[in-house]
Amino acid sequence: MSDEDRGRAGKPPTRKPAGRATHARRAPRHEKSVNLALQGGGAHGAFTWGVLDRLFEDDRIWIEAISGTSAGAMNAVVAAQGLYEGGAEGARRALEAFWRRVSQAAIASPIQRSIWARLTGDWSLKTSPGYVFFDLVSRVASPHDLNPLDINPLRDLVGESVDFDKVRASAGMGLYLAATNVETGRVRVFQREEITLDTVMASACLPFLFKAVAIDGCLYWDGGYMGNPPLFPFFHRSAAGDIVIVQINPIFRPGEPQRAQDIQNRVNEITFNSSLLHELRAIDFVSRLLDSGKLDDSEYRRMHIHMIQARKRMRALDASSKMNAEWPFLRHLFEIGRDAAASWLDGCYADLGRRSTVDIREMFAGVSSLPLDPG
């Protein structure tokens, strides 16, 4: 998908969405279809795992398409393979197996919680000697200096966990992964038939840790800089008119950060949310023009926006915990995600296909109206 597609964000689909493959789960008669937009966030992606687990458990929901960035991209491809192999239950099993592998691989990592953090129940790594050392070094040396061979254990893990032939064959669900072009600064969205191990690693390539990923002669960094996650593909290539954003990075965080790490954390949150906020503003703009009759609703689509998040519980976790892949922590995040999805289904399922449950205008007016925060 070209960058110019962003400029046609209100246009309806130009082709019939791909038909559901025979391997996909059969749709119940009264189901509602949605598009899922999955944010990145390192180990916090286990929250999204919990959300997906609960949604795949509910036969009323059909997931028409998924867009993802970084950890969201990994959740997306693992879910797509699971759907291909065994429908919704296959997706749930594949996601659990993937996150177990992530945890097992992290056992050998030099970055571990300190004894004090373990004693006090602190999930962060801010007192971890290994984390502090690598954090300081990354501020003065690049991956080209520290990792000239570009060794990336996560690449090996994803490559061993995901059969990309099956991902590309999962035609029952649209799939879109975002990466940032290093040279142009534009977002690149890879569609299902283009997705490989390289595209997933490009979507998750943090430039302070890894060299840029080269694809077709272009260099890519983490998609979070320009699309976390991208929403515009849904306007053109999905029949579903509801977008459910799985929010990991807090939009609002009270108070002024004072420690250097807290300042950097907040800068990263603002940066990785900026593209999403721009797209939400564009969606609201199109909706206003449709409401006023200034746009023809046969030419432009009205999309309903929803969010699944746990603001209070996720906001309590600092940036360093995004590198904590201990199994108890991943399960903790998983349970938070399941709770958030369950609360959202209870409160918002009836609104699917009818209206948004996020008031974008109030968001930009500084009033939070994001519903059903389970705390």
> How do residues 144-189 score in pLDDT, each as one tens digit?
888 888 889 999 999 999 999 999 998 889 999 999 999 999 999 9
Of all residues in the chain, the percent with pLDDT exceeding 70 is 89
Residues 6+ apart with CB under 8 A from 165: none
Average pLDDT over residues 19-46: 72
Q: b/e string for 126-136 if b means 16 or more Cβ within 10 A?
A: bbbeebbebbe
Give the pLDDT band of residue 366 (cuts 50, 70, 90).
Answer: low
pLDDT value, residue 147: 84
User: Residue 342: which pLDDT band, with cuts at 50, 70 and 90?
Assistant: very high
Reported confidence tier of residue 17, pLDDT bands at 50, 70, 90: very low
How far from chain centre, in Å, is Cα 250? 13
pLDDT confidence of residue 13: 39
Which residues have C-beta within 8 Å of that of residue 1, sequence separation ≥ 6? 176, 188, 189, 190, 191, 233, 236
Q: What is the pLDDT of residue 254?
A: 85
Which tokens go with 203?
A: 């979507």
pLDDT in tens, 279-296: 998 888 888 898 888 888
pLDDT value of position 83: 95
pTM for this model (two decimals): 0.88
Best mean pLDDT range from 19-23, 258-262, 304-308: 304-308
In the block, which residue shows the tokens 């400029």? 7
**Predicted local confidence at residue 193, as pLDDT:** 95
Listed range (16-25, 137-146, 163-172, 225-234) with the worst mean pLDDT: 16-25
Q: Which residues contact 28 (CB under 8 A, 6 or more apart)?
A: 59, 60
List the structure tokens of 146.
């520290």
Class of residue 169 by CB neighbours under 10 A (exposed 0-12, middle 13-18, buried 19+): middle
Of the candidates 98, 60, 68, 66, the residue with the CA atom closest to the CA atom of residue 82: 98
Mean pLDDT, rounded, for 341-355: 96
Q: Judge contact between 285 and 361, C-beta under 8 A.
A: no
Amino acid at 227: G
